[in-house]
């Protein structure tokens, strides 16, 4: 783990509130796993003082495969994300990472279901790209992307380019079927069981995905997007209740953010 001052390479709007930001990083980030995250703040930032967590969205490589940095996908919801949306190439950010545990897909999985709610799509593109690079045929797998409205549905073309089928739903029916993303996911899972389900999104969606996986006895990993203050196990602000026999609280930043869904107690 490093704290770096890193330069912004590009800042590309994807929708009215979402931005893809390329950042130069140390070569250590080349070994990041999908689901890992970084803690970012702006140089000399004192208000708010704390860094904010962002998933690694993509690794950036030059045309001849030399690692250059990472890309993050930022949705503007408050002060830091708004400030990030205004950054220009050449501006700098303070970056701490790579942090946490990512997704771990056993090599024998051929039918992989991924579920992304809203900005939860950010780590899923890194995940799908890394499976594609391992020459895993994704044509029997599916990514389910859900959002409130069509502007929340991001990266569809990127997944299609990896030969990964995409199913979309929106709450208002402006793109895809008008229902929750867990609805088509459950139908497809019952039609032909996936080997594993991997999900990132709001906690209600994750609870539903975990319930479907449990009822079908399918392994499931979820990425918890809890509020984090330090990202390193120091503040205990990201504690979540677990179903472990010792009832130990899990810390999303250290034990996660990606966890086996059966470890996590959604009811508390
Ligand atoms: C492991 C992890 C990975 C994340 N990855 C991404 C990512 O790739 N892209 C991205 O845009 N965001 C991601 N987030 C959420 C992101 O960290 C928050 O949106 C960000 O901290 C908001 O900072 P702010 O200063 O702009 O807003 P603030 O002023 O801090 O908050 C504005 C509003 O957003 C809410 N909020 C803050 N943090 C979260 C959160 N974690 N989940 C839901 N609501 C929150 C606050 O309650 C408040 O209502 C991730 C969070 C975690 C824990
Ligand atoms: S964010 Fe501080 S302990 Fe997890």
Provide block-wise average pLDDT over 10 residues at a time, the chain (268 residues). 86 95 95 96 79 96 92 96 95 94 95 97 98 95 97 96 97 96 97 98 94 96 89 87 74 92 76
Q: Are 25 and 4 in contact (CB under 8 A)?
A: yes
Is the separation of the CB atoms in 96 and 42 below 8 Å?
no
Q: What is the β-pairing status of strands 196-200 and 112-117?
A: parallel
Residue 55 in tokens: 């998933």
Atom of ligand 2 nearest to the CA of 236: 3
**Cα separations (Å) of 242 from 140, 158, 259?**
33, 35, 10
What pLDDT, on a 0 to 100 scale, did the predictor assign at position 58? 97
Ordered domains of the chain (ranges, CATH): 2-99 (2.40.30.10), 112-263 (3.40.50.80)
Quote the CA–CA distance of 200 and 145 in Å, as a whole number.
10
The answer to whether the CB of 58 is under 6 A from ligand 1 is no
With a 6 A CB cut-off, is 224 part of the ligand 2 pocket?
A: no
Q: Ligand 2 centroid vs 105 CA: distance in angstroms? A: 25
Query: Of the ligands numbered here, which is closest to the C-alpha atom of 51?
Result: 1
What is the crossing angle of helices 203-216 and 182-191, to 10°?
Answer: 10
């Amino acid at each position: 783990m490093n704290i770096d001052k890193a330069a912004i390479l590009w800042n590309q709007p994807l929708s009215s509130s979402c931005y893809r930001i390329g950042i130069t990083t140390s070569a250590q980030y080349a070994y990041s796993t999908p689901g890992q995250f970084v803690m970012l703040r702006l140089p000399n930032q004192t208000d708010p003082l704390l860094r904010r967590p962002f998933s690694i969205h993509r690794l950036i490589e030059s045309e001849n495969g030399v690692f250059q940095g990472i890309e993050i996908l930022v949705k503007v919801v408050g002060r830091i994300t708004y400030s990030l949306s205004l950054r220009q190439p050449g501006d700098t950010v303070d970056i701490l990472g790579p942090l946490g545990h990512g997704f771990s897909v056993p090599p024998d999985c051929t039918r992989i279901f991924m579920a992304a709610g809203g900005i939860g799509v950010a780590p899923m593109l890194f995940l799908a790209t890394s499976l594609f690079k391992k020459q895993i045929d994704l044509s029997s797998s599916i990514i389910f992307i859900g959002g409130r409205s069509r502007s929340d549905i991001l990266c569809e073309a990127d997944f299609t380019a990896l030969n990964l089928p995409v199913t979309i739903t929106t709450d208002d029916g402006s793109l895809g079927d008008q229902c929750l993303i867990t609805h088509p996911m459950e139908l497809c899972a019952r039609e032909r069981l996936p080997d594993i389900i991997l999900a990132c999104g709001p906690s209600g969606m994750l609870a539903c995905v975990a319930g479907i996986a449990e009822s079908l006895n399918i392994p499931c990993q979820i990425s918890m997007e809890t509020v984090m203050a330090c990202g390193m196990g120091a503040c205990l602000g990201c504690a979540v209740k677990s179903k472990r026999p010792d009832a130990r609280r899990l810390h999303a930043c250290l034990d996660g953010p990606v966890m086996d869904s059966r470890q996590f107690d959604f009811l508390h």
